[in-house]
Amino acid sequence: MNKQAHNIGPIGVFDSGYGGLTILDAIRKKLPQYNFLYLGDNARAPYGSRSFNIVYRFTLEAVKYLFSQGCNLVILACNTASAKALRNIQQNDLPNIDPTKRVLGVIRPTVEKIGEISRSGNIGILGTTGTIQSKSYDIEIEKIHPKFNVFSQSCPLWVPLVENQEANGEGADFFVQKYINQLLNQSADIDSIILGCTHYPILLDKIRKYTPSHINIVEQGAIIADSLADYLNRHPEMNIRCSKNGICSYLTTEDEDKFNSLASIFLNEKIDSKHIDL
Ligand code: DGL
pLDDT tens for the chain, 278 residues long, are 444 445 899 999 999 999 999 999 999 999 999 999 999 999 999 999 999 999 999 999 999 999 999 999 999 999 999 999 999 999 999 999 999 999 999 999 999 999 999 999 999 999 999 999 999 999 999 999 999 999 999 999 999 999 888 999 989 999 999 999 999 999 999 999 999 999 999 999 999 999 999 999 999 999 999 999 999 999 999 999 999 999 999 999 999 999 999 999 889 899 999 999 99
Under 8 Å between Cβ of 271 and 256: no
Distance from the Cα of residue 275 to its chain's centroid: 21
Give the residue from 41, 33, 123 showing the smallest Cα distance to 76. Answer: 41
Mutation to probe ligand 1, out of 44, 106, 137, 159 (largest number of atoms < 8 A from CB): 159
d(CA 165, CA 204): 14
Distance of CA 7 from the midpoint of ligand 1 (Å): 31
Distance from the Cα of residue 4 to its chain's centroid: 28
Query: Catalytic annotation on 155?
Result: no
- Phi and psi for 2 in degrees, rounded to 5? -80, 170
Strand-strand pairing, 102-104 and 73-76: parallel
Cβ atoms within 10 Å of 191's Cβ, excluding its own: 16
Q: Looking at ligand 1, which atom is closest to the CA of residue 80?
A: 10
Among the residues of 185-216, which ranges form H helices? 204-209
What SS3 class is residue 154? strand
Paired strand residues for 218:
194
The confidence score (pLDDT) of residue 135 equals 97
pTM over 0.85: yes
Give the residue from 60, 12, 17, 20 showing the smallest Cα distance to 37. Answer: 12
Under 8 Å between Cβ of 14 and 75: yes
The confidence score (pLDDT) of residue 265 equals 85
What number of helices (H) and strands (E) belong to the chain?
15, 10
Nearest CA to ligand 1 atom 9: 48
- Element at 144 (helix H, strand E): helix 136-144
- Conformational region of residue 57, where left means phi above 0, alpha means psi within -120 to 50, and beta covers everything else: alpha
Distance of CA 141 from the midpoint of ligand 1 (Å): 20
d(CA 215, CA 212): 6
The confidence score (pLDDT) of residue 6 equals 55
| Pocket flag, ligand 1, residue 46 (CB < 6 Å) | yes
The confidence score (pLDDT) of residue 266 equals 85
Query: Catalytic annotation on 197?
Result: yes
Under 8 Å between Cβ of 20 and 14: yes
- Element at 11 (helix H, strand E): strand 11-15
The confidence score (pLDDT) of residue 163 equals 87
